[in-house]
Structure 1
């Protein structure tokens, strides 16, 4: 299976065929999904699974590093909790490794613990940390753009359909993440109810594991951050919680057609059955770029970021009723679902990318111009998370929820990160 071109350096624009993949061997450097520091696998800390009164090393204590991190992001602090085990003081026979990665230790009380921590902030690390690469993907966009719904349907499609097509499997990074994902998916796909907006509070990552059937390919830890829309335009909030954006390996930038003044009234008239909020309260897409520029782009060389960024027009089903060929053709490919298989189809991508670039150039030239100026690696997409319009936060129970092209931006990011080969039919 040579379609996952890990760590390749070939020119993607001329990638017209399959390539035999080469794979980096572990153990891998760990990137903490919370404080974003990098360190070797042997530097991980462990939290003891018990405490012992009278033993200074194993008594419960306040974890200053963890509380310092929690204070910084506005999260509650802990009182005394189980201590940190000093790994360097343990004999080698007490250290358990898998794939050369230290995953568990047996303390001096002959008790095992596998709760691995970042040595810099003492947050618990994903189970697969060190056994494969980690990639941070930030999902950004204004309020009401549909980030949480998009993430829910994206994971639904990746887990149930896309994974099999690319010979891989996506599962939640822990039972807690699995419960959160399952609850959101049941709400949409089983109960036909929309999700509540992401609250503006401290942000927790959503961690997923992508494992390939080919054992030669190391597992990939995916760390998703969904930024609340209200937080995107709050300088103080971004200063406190936005570190993950500048540390991203990929960005998914969602924009809502209703954010575009040129389309807002037309969409309102064309989608008469939609009873959502068509007020003037929508933020402009360019507003989000301003806050990203203030936060980190302005500090980059040439005031441009080279983090691969997928610009995604959401709710594309709304555009089908415009009947205005000036903006988008009624037979456009953006309304037709497409399934990328064992390689990322560059012909299909280039068609969609060209259509959406042309569309945005007409309806919001200022936004597209800013993207071309401040973002060095971009791909343009259009998706519909549901394939239909909800009314009053409910989805018509007679409607078949059919996401359209929701996995395409994610697969493009995998391609840009050299985890998925490109090809042409």
Structure 2
């Protein structure tokens, strides 16, 4: 990783460069659940055993964890193993990696490595404290394809992209690994679409990005996929939306069918869906209303500085638009591109410009609201599957093609100073 060339929207000169600057440890831990920040020495541990008759090690109700669960709309837990604070643990019974406390032996000489947030008692990712944590919220209206996009993104990152940028993607835990694998198997092996994300408490999906260059600290990625119905429900957002204002990056997905001007123009491959889709789809600007009402309006200058990738999904559908007024048949949107070793700024500027012009024509109110409310934006178009499923099934004869799926995420990495930006 060498020099970075900075390009934030249209505000920076093409000649500006800066060297990559990675955060240096010791790293503060950001809890993926309550978003409190604390030093690594402040972690507590869940005992790996219970001892009847010992008040410190008897099973007990975890009030902090249940308080979090109640706030999140989850069920309270029964008695579980106790929480161990580390102040009274002898130094010889503490294990550190990269200066971070990751395991202890308790007074019974029994080990535990289940580290907890001291504020909400949720279990922390294994890499917490050994590198920075970045919260990425994936937002958008109902039916925009957030879950499918996330499944495709993690698949593409793990199988192809990480190798190109000198990294490896590792699931945050076996539980999250099973969830990812189940969704990927459903889509890519069985050709079946995912069910919509239920409108309930949303658990983070945690992955670790480990770099081959050991001078680069590992990155803990905390993804939140918000149900579309929840994005416009004030009560739901008040209860579950803390992660959005605590985000380090936002991926804002927009479905072409949400754009009123395009609904009757796009020739859908699913012949069973006909007529005006006005009632079926929320408008993209509806989501910005949430951002402004609940978050942006409470900030200085009423603009958020969180880097936000605006992503037009299902870009393969635009081939059926057959209207040069909106997009050319030879557009870069329909051509896949692999960013090798660095984030190609020329390629970004091309796709960024094309998608901005497309949105200005297809949904000018939305584009105008983005300009008014978001300071740092990049515009992209992706297709998670490369085809339009029918009756929740993917045609095996057509096959799956990922088009520019990883590009919005790589732009966020670039904005976070974790990926070089250069011109070819």
TM-score, normalised to structure 1's length?
0.96
**In structure 1, C-alpha distance between the alignment counterparts of 2:213 and 2:68, rounded to whole Å:** 38
Residue 292 of structure 1, CA deviation: 1.4
Residue 363 of structure 1, CA deviation: 1.0
3-state SS in 1 of match to 2:157: helix
Aligned to 1:351: 350
**In structure 2, C-alpha distance between the alignment counterparts of 1:160 and 1:182, rounded to whole Å:** 13
Aligned to 1:386: 385
3-state SS in 1 of match to 2:76: coil
Aligned to 1:156: 155
Aligned to 1:409: 408
1:247-305 residue CA offsets vs partner (Å, 9 max, x unmatched): 000000001000011000011xx235443476322100000100111111111111110
3-state SS in 2 of match to 1:61: coil
**In structure 1, C-alpha distance between the alignment counterparts of 2:2 and 2:269, rounded to whole Å:** 49
Aligned to 1:242: 241
CA shift in 2, pair 1:265/1:49, >3 Å:
same
3-state SS in 1 of match to 2:74: coil
1:70-97 residue CA offsets vs partner (Å, 9 max, x unmatched): 0001001111110011210111111110
Question: Which segments of 5 or more consecutive residues in structure 2 lack a partner in the other structure?
Answer: none
3-state SS in 1 of match to 2:195: coil
- Is the CA contact (8 Å cut-off) linking 1:16 and 1:424 kept in structure 2? no
Q: 5 Å matches for 1:137-216?
A: 137-216=136-215
Aligned to 1:2: 2
CA shift in 2, pair 1:289/1:23, >3 Å:
closer
Q: 5 Å matches for 1:4-403?
A: 13-14=12-13, 21-267=20-266, 270-276=267-273, 279-280=277-278, 281-403=280-402
Residue 421 of structure 1, CA deviation: 1.3
CA shift in 2, pair 1:24/1:272, >3 Å:
closer
Query: Which shows bigger deviation, 24-33 or 91-100?
Result: 24-33
- Is the CA contact (8 Å cut-off) linking 1:17 and 1:424 kept in structure 2? no
Question: Which segments of 5 or more consecutive residues in structure 1 lack a partner in the other structure?
Answer: none
3-state SS in 1 of match to 2:264: helix
3-state SS in 1 of match to 2:101: strand
CA shift in 2, pair 1:164/1:16, >3 Å:
farther
- Is the CA contact (8 Å cut-off) linking 2:250 and 2:306 kept in structure 1? yes
Residue 400 of structure 1, CA deviation: 1.8
Superposed CA RMSD in Å reads: 1.6
**In structure 2, C-alpha distance between the alignment counterparts of 1:179 and 1:279, rounded to whole Å:** 36
**In structure 1, C-alpha distance between the alignment counterparts of 2:218 and 2:399, rounded to whole Å:** 34
- Is the CA contact (8 Å cut-off) linking 2:305 and 2:376 kept in structure 1? yes
- Is the CA contact (8 Å cut-off) linking 2:22 and 2:417 kept in structure 1? no
Query: Which shows bigger deviation, 54-63 or 32-41?
Result: 54-63
Residue 53 of structure 1, CA deviation: 1.1
**In structure 1, C-alpha distance between the alignment counterparts of 2:82 and 2:65, rounded to whole Å:** 12
- Is the CA contact (8 Å cut-off) linking 1:306 and 1:375 kept in structure 2? yes
**In structure 2, C-alpha distance between the alignment counterparts of 1:171 and 1:232, rounded to whole Å:** 29
1:112-167 residue CA offsets vs partner (Å, 9 max, x unmatched): 00000000000000000000000000000000000000000001110001011001
How many residues align? The count is: 419
CA shift in 2, pair 1:337/1:16, >3 Å:
farther
**In structure 2, C-alpha distance between the alignment counterparts of 1:219 and 1:15, rounded to whole Å:** 30
- Is the CA contact (8 Å cut-off) linking 2:20 and 2:418 kept in structure 1? no
Residue 323 of structure 1, CA deviation: 1.2
**In structure 2, C-alpha distance between the alignment counterparts of 1:423 and 1:18, rounded to whole Å:** 9
1:157-211 residue CA offsets vs partner (Å, 9 max, x unmatched): 1000101100111121111111110111111111110000000111100000000
CA shift in 2, pair 1:274/1:420, >3 Å:
farther
CA shift in 2, pair 1:27/1:15, >3 Å:
farther
CA shift in 2, pair 1:273/1:204, >3 Å:
closer
